[in-house]
Amino acid sequence: MSIKKCFLLLFYPEGVILFPMFKWQMISFETVESTNDTARDYPCGTAVVARCQTQGRGRHGRTWQSLNGNLFLSVVLPEMGEKTPLLAFVVGLAVVEALPEVPLKLKWPNDVLKNGAKVAGILLERTDDKVIAGIGVNLKQAPQQHLLYRTDTLGTGLSPQALAERILKSLNTMLTRFQENGTAWLLACWLKKAAGVGQLITVKMPTETITGIFNTLSPEGALLLTLDNGTQKAVSAGDIFL
């Protein structure tokens, strides 16, 4: 399969990055187990969409209820070493910027909220040499059962295909801006759109639950909290409750 890529060589304070600008190759399926699994077989620059997913998954091995009419999209991105986890922020911002007509917020690490309810989730997975970013958007239906959070639908008349196209366009813009402006810029953009900054939040981790003020993000994208006793804590994985 051939995909058109052009490579830009750019210099910025964090070094030289050779990053592909994608002319996305979109491949559509009727039914797959998970678009993230299907995408693994394709090269960088591929976007996989499916009308149905039978084994959609979310973060921490949870099931992603893949209801009819919603968007199930996975994009294949290049491995970026230690910066790979930051791609979740790039993708989150791309989803928000793709939908200027909807008042959306980002919830650390990978959720998209509308009026405090989850409308989209992002799952970043690595292979040996690629990164698969899976994006699930509740376009027509919001799952209601066995959930940690409130959910909602996006509430636009967009079809999954139209939304996928918007997100891919916006993702190219965000990837370019990220490579031009670097990590500090990315995190500042993300924080501007984030829910809960400066507020008391609860973070559930596998072995403990903590409460603290959400101050900012570390350069690696960890949540930086101030706890009740005044100490600072960095959290790199968990679920936050606002």
Name, in order, each residue with C-beta under 8 angstroms of 9's C-beta and a sequence gap of 6 or more.
Answer: 16, 18
**Max intra-chain CA distance, the chain:** 57
Q: Which is nearer to ligand BTN, 132 or 174 (CB)?
A: 132
| One-character DSSP codes across 89-102 | HHHHHHHHHH-TTS
Rule CB under 6 A: is residue 134 a binding residue for ligand BTN?
A: yes
Whole-angstrom Cα Rg for the chain: 17
Residue 109, preceding peptide bond in cis (omega within 30° of 0): yes
Q: Which amino acid is at 123?
A: L
The contact mask relative to ligand BTN for 60-79 (x = CB under 6 A, - = no) is --x-x-------xxx-----
Rule CB under 6 A: is residue 183 a binding residue for ligand BTN?
A: no
Nearest 10 degrees: CA dihedral of 79, 129, 10, 163?
-60
Rule CB under 6 A: is residue 151 a binding residue for ligand BTN?
A: no
Q: Which is nearer to ligand BTN, 63 or 173 (CB)?
A: 63
The residue within the footprint of ligand BTN, chosen from 20, 22, 34, 119 (CB under 6 A), is: 34
Q: Quick count: other Cβ atoms within 10 Å of Cβ 47? A: 24
**Minimum CB distance to ligand BTN, residue 146 (Å):** 13
**How is residue 108 written in tokens?**
């650390």
Region from 76-84, 98-106, 121-129, 167-175 binding ligand BTN, contact rule CB under 6 A? 121-129
Rule CB under 6 A: is residue 83 a binding residue for ligand BTN?
A: no
Q: Which is nearer to ligand BTN, 95 or 123 (CB)?
A: 123
**How is residue 138 written in tokens?**
């509740």
Region from 1-9, 16-24, 56-64, 139-147 binding ligand BTN, contact rule CB under 6 A? 56-64
Contact between 85 and 221 under an 8 Å Cβ cutoff? The reply is: yes
Region from 130-138, 141-149, 176-184, 216-224 binding ligand BTN, contact rule CB under 6 A? 130-138
The residues of the shown chain that bind ligand BTN, judged by CB under 6 A, are 34-36, 53, 56-59, 62, 64, 72-74, 110-111, 121-123, 134-136
